Structure 1
């Protein structure tokens, strides 16, 4: 593992409350065909900028700096060289926060797989959480849909129309690799090498990063995370 910082799990606290508006809305399966976008080329770095790997983890070392909290109803722990986050009740949520210095431009990549639980859950990535509690979030559901939301001064706003379906999101217990690229006011979201969306917003231009899960089913949900990489762009 290579690291420059440590992670802390927040099961109850500010980050959960901030994300409430985003993660309280259950994705509704769409009856329309999946949205298909052209397979756009990778996001180009601005002239003079370079990409530097600052943190990576394959979760093979349980002594690495990811905090483990084995609570009964929700938590996070190392299992089989992966990091697993779980909730056992409907409406439960868990979020993690990466406590590096605030990041401005970055690339975040991670493999995510739903391990168990009935349909009605999703994982999400929080980014650019600033000192004023402004942030953005990207969610990917087990209904094969995704959403991008900003949360500013206590109010959530969709940066897309709503949860949007994509055939590039893999169903069931198959792994999805999520990639989020933030450069200036632009955020590009990829899954499994395909570009899902590109949005622009200038409300919050730097902050912290985190991830979590939410379940609406009585069975709860378990998600595994692996092959995490974080690059800064400077």
Structure 2
């Protein structure tokens, strides 16, 4: 117990130091340090291959195309998302994209008809996303997320480095605006997710993603009508019963 507490204290001190060192540095510098120095060989990028994903995937590909990229296929994704994944992987030359799927036993026991999302979205996210990702991250010391402060009130105070479940999470784009994301993609010839033009600025699983009207919050189409803004992977672990969404 004492060892785990001292390890946690050590990681917390590390996170504070990294945030002080890199608070004014750009995303590329943060990624370069994380991938080639601080966590070399022990870090993965978790990507949903969603509306904003191309920017971080491109940055990582410029540093090391062998970086493990974890993609959770919940079994409820849009076909467009999978095709977009394949397009980006080919264009960027990514060499280690790992498709993570739910455990068949979990689905058979807790969602045999595939309709759990209609009655309990948290439980659905938990078995289809949170648990599989927690297992996939088991061999890594750190992981990279594309979350940004502007996306939701729950992300407003997001820092570039944070400690979660005994692992350091790196958020290189924490202070980026939506405009900066679009400009970077344009400058680097990155294709948009095909559903963005159809009115989906934030894209998750098909049953729980709705179109967004002009002027609405970009994430308002996620779990519309529910008091839910996250799938669970950003504030929950496989040991907890709760859940949340979007990377």
Compute the TM-score of the two structures, normalised by the length of structure 2: 0.22
Larger Rg over CA atoms:
2
Compute the TM-score of the two structures, normalised by the length of structure 1: 0.23
Q: Choose between structure 1 and 2: higher helix proportion.
A: 2
